[in-house]
Copies of this chain bind each other. A is one copy, B any other.
Amino acid sequence: MSATKLTIPARKGLAVRVEKGRTFKIVNTHGSQVVDSWAFNADDMSEFMSMEHSRAGFRRLVSQIGDSYLTNRRRPILTVTDDTSPGRHDTLIAACDIYRYQGLGHQGHHDNCTDNLRDALASLNLKAPETPSPLNLFMNIPWEPNGELYWNEPMSLPGDAITFRAEMNVVAVFSTCPMDLMPINGKDCIIHDAEVVIGS
Contact = CB atoms under 8 A, between A and B. Distances in A.
A100 B57 CA distance: 10
Contacts of A133: 51-52, 133
Q: How many copies, total? A: 2
A73 to B, nearest CB: 5
A65 interface: no
A100 B70 CA distance: 11
B55 A52 contact: no
A73 B50 contact: no
Interface in A137-168: 143, 145-150
Interface in A10-59: 50-53, 55-56, 59
A147 B56 CA distance: 12
A45 to B, nearest CB: 12
A189 interface: no
Contacts of A75: 99
Contacts of A62: 147
A61 B147 contact: yes
Contacts of A51: 52, 133
Contact of A100 (B59, B74, B100, B146): B74
9 contacts: A50-B94, A52-B94, A55-B149, A56-B94, A59-B150, A60-B147, A73-B99, A92-B92, A129-B130
A-B pairs, 4 with minimum CB distance: A52-B94, A61-B147, A74-B99, A52-B133
